[in-house]
């Protein structure tokens, strides 16, 4: 088998034009795309969004606060010396008005446009695509919220948030509103203990990444995304590159001459599989290292980060080798090598698209995104992005096991498809 491995590596090395293409083309693409699309993932990424929220107001806040004041005076749950402080805090920062002030604050004006309208008009704007989402504040919301927090009466009310379909923009609006309400409710609870309701302590959303405990996270830049995406894509095509040589060897009767030597047939298959692994691993490492040397895409990263990158690159190369083994067996069974190459290229183009290598995966429908996560390139790209941002070793194991499982299945299938003596088409 080592002889066949060396044969495929030497044949690849002899084609200097292809060697230069494999090394230089992905690096050129990374540099060109990074420069031409610079700024798309900058720290001011929120400026690239123009979110629209339709607000439907059915609640009567003033009336609710008056009813709440009367309930507080009659309540035995709040001490007499604290009733006036509670009322003053609610009057100064009523919940619905505080939410409106937050959504129209200067910190959000470049990100979110809020318009108040009727429920029917809001639904129409969502259907027409003029608004990303609708927020309905139902009747009795203020009264029910205040009675639940301060008087422990009834259940906590909820706002009605709806959108035409799930999207990144919709999730952003929902998270902004949900985060504010959680902090506002916390301020009201604090005021029950004698504190004051302070809107200065309610944080506005900020760009960049967050540091939780002592775990550092990093933002994803455009050049980093292209380095990972192009790397995964070109290694995917390596499977077809190696397998396509099988058609040439069959056309030139090289395979038949090998069969006449009584060499175990699977040595030929596993030789190409191992050659694909070596070439794939070298290519993806050259892309990562070359991108770093040219653009500094992985600057100031730890030794652990690089070990994680090498580990996932190795597992991905194994998966590509398994894919190449299936293509090799199929090539030997098909009469027309050009037809085989066309089929392989079509499959790889589909993999590249749904795996997020040609276009960002979030623009695809959810069902396609889920399928893309089961392609070797899609799974690898997703986990490399997560590793780049968080460097959490625990996130590597499950994807690595899935890739190894795909590798074993692919090799098993290729072994069953591999033609026996006299079965070559």
Q: Where exactly are the structural domains of the chain? A: 2-42+218-417, 46-201
Average pLDDT over residues 401-423: 88
> What confidence score (pLDDT) does residue 370 get?
83
| 193 has pLDDT over 50 | yes
Interior angle at CA 88, CA 85 and CA 92, nearest 5:
140
| 293 has pLDDT over 80 | yes
| 216 has pLDDT over 50 | no
| 76 has pLDDT over 60 | yes
Q: Are 203 and 186 in contact (CB under 8 A)?
A: no
Average pLDDT over residues 331-348: 85
Model confidence over 90-131: pLDDT tens digits?
888 888 888 888 888 887 877 888 999 999 999 999 988 889
Least confident of 38-47, 320-329, 384-393, 398-407: 38-47
Phi, psi values for residue 114, rounded to 5°: -115, 130
> What confidence score (pLDDT) does residue 291 get?
93
| 174 has pLDDT over 90 | no
SS3 of the chain: the string is CHHHHHHHHHHHHHCHHHHHHHHHHHHHHHHHHHHHCCCCCCCCHHHHCCEEEEEEECCCHHHHHHHHHHHHHHCCCCCHHHHHHHHHHHHHCCHHHHHHHHHCCCCCCCCEEEEECCHHHHHHHHHCCCCCEEEEECCCHHHHHHHHHHCCCCCCCCCEEECCCCCHHHHHHHHHHHHHHHHHHHHHHHHHCCCCCCHHHCCCCCCCCCCECCECCCCCCHHHHHHHHHHHHHHHHHHHHHHHHHHHHHHCCHHHHHHHCCCCHHHHHHHHHHHHHHHHHHHHHHHHHHHHHHHCCCCCCCHHHHHHHHHHHHHHHHHHHHHHHHHHHHHHHCCCHHHHHHHHHHHHHHHHHHCCCCCCHHHCCHHHHHHHCCCHHHHHHHHHHHHHHHCCCHHHHHHHHHHHHHHHHHHHHHHHHCCCCCCCC
Average pLDDT over residues 215-233: 80
**pLDDT over 70 for what percent of the chain?**
85
Of 212, 390, 380, the residue nearest 280 (C-alpha): 380
- 20 Cα distance to chain centroid: 32
Least confident of 255-269, 300-314, 337-351: 255-269
CB within 8 Å of 259: residues ≥ 6 apart: 265, 421, 424
> What confidence score (pLDDT) does residue 256 get?
65
- Cα dihedral 266→405→237→254 (10° resolution): 0
| 215 has pLDDT over 80 | no
> What confidence score (pLDDT) does residue 207 get?
40
| 420 has pLDDT over 90 | no
Residue 1 — very low, low, confident or very high, per pLDDT cuts 50/70/90? Answer: low
Least confident of 90-104, 211-225, 353-367: 211-225
Average pLDDT over residues 377-401: 90
Q: Is pLDDT larger for residue 79 or for residue 235?
A: 235
> What confidence score (pLDDT) does residue 109 get?
79
Q: Is pLDDT larger for residue 139 or for residue 421?
A: 139
CA distances from 163 to 114, 139, 317 (A): 15, 20, 41
Q: Which residues pair with 133 in a beta bridge?
A: 53
> What confidence score (pLDDT) does residue 58 get?
92
**CA–CA separation, 9 vs 275, rounded Å?**
6
From the number of C-beta atoms within 10 Å of its C-beta (0-12, 13-18, 19+), residue 61 rates as middle
Of 4, 14, 79, 68, the residue nearest 258 (C-alpha): 4
Of 210, 193, 157, the residue nearest 82 (C-alpha): 193
Average pLDDT over residues 140-151: 87
> What confidence score (pLDDT) does residue 243 get?
82
| 162 has pLDDT over 70 | yes
> What confidence score (pLDDT) does residue 43 get?
47
- 7 Cα distance to chain centroid: 40
Q: Are 355 and 349 in contact (CB under 8 A)?
A: no
| 210 has pLDDT over 80 | no
Mean pLDDT taken over the chain: 82
Q: Are 224 and 349 in contact (CB under 8 A)?
A: no
**CA–CA separation, 123 vs 367, rounded Å?**
25
Dig out the tokens for 203 from the structure: 């944080």
Of 408, 411, 379, the residue nearest 396 (C-alpha): 379
Average pLDDT over residues 260-269: 73
Average pLDDT over residues 294-301: 90
Model confidence over 16-74: pLDDT tens digits?
788 888 889 999 999 988 888 765 544 444 445 678 999 999 998 889 889 888 888 88
From the number of C-beta atoms within 10 Å of its C-beta (0-12, 13-18, 19+), residue 422 rates as exposed
Q: Are 159 and 95 in contact (CB under 8 A)?
A: no
> What confidence score (pLDDT) does residue 196 get?
52
Q: Is pLDDT larger for residue 355 or for residue 251?
A: 355
**CA–CA separation, 90 vs 182, rounded Å?**
16
**CA–CA separation, 303 vs 8, rounded Å?**
33
């Amino acid at each position: 088998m080592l002889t066949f491995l060396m044969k495929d590596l030497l044949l690849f090395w002899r084609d200097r034009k292809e060697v230069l293409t494999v090394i230089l083309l992905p690096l050129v693409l990374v540099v060109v795309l990074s420069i031409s699309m610079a700024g798309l993932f900058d720290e001011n990424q929120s400026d690239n969004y123009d979110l629209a929220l339709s607000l439907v107001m059915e609640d009567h806040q003033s009336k609710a606060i008056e009813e709440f004041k009367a309930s507080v005076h009659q309540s035995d749950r709040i001490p007499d010396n604290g009733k006036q402080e509670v009322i003053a805090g609610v009057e100064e920062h009523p919940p619905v008005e505080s939410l409106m002030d937050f959504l129209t604050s200067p910190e959000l004006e470049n990100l979110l446009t809020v318009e108040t309208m009727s429920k029917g008009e809001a639904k129409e704007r969502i259907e027409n695509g003029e608004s990303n989402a609708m927020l309905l504040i139902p009747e009795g919301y203020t009264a029910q919220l205040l009675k639940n927090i301060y008087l422990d009466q009834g259940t906590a009310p909820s706002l009605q948030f709806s959108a035409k379909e799930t999207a990144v923009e919709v999730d952003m609006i929902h998270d902004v509103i949900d985060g504010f309400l959680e902090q506002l409710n916390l301020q009201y609870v604090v005021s029950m203990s004698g504190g004051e309701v302070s809107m200065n302590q309610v944080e506005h959303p900020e760009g960049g990444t967050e540091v939780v405990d002592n775990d550092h996270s990093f933002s994803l830049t455009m050049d980093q995304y292209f380095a990972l995406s192009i790397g995964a894509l070109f290694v995917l095509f390596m499977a077809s590159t190696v397998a396509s040589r099988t058609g040439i060897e069959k056309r030139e009767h090289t395979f038949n001459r090998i069969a006449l030597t009584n060499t175990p047939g699977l040595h030929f298959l596993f030789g190409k599989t191992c050659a694909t692994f070596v070439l794939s691993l070298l290519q993806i490492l050259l892309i990562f290292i070359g991108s770093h040397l040219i653009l500094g895409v992985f600057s100031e990263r730890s030794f652990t980060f690089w070990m994680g990158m090498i580990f996932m690159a190795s597992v991905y190369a194994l998966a590509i080798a398994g894919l190449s083994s299936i293509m090799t067996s199929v090539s030997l069974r098909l009469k027309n090598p050009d037809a085989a190459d066309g089929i392989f290229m079509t499959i790889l183009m589909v993999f590249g698209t749904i795996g997020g290598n040609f276009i960002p995966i979030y623009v695809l429908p959810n069902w396609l995104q889920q399928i893309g996560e089961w392609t070797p390139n899609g799974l690898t790209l997703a986990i490399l992005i997560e590793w780049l941002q968080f460097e959490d070793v625990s996130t590597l194991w499950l994807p690595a096991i899935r890739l190894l499982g795909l590798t074993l299945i692919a090799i098993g299938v290729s072994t069953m498809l591999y033609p026996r003596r006299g079965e070559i088409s």
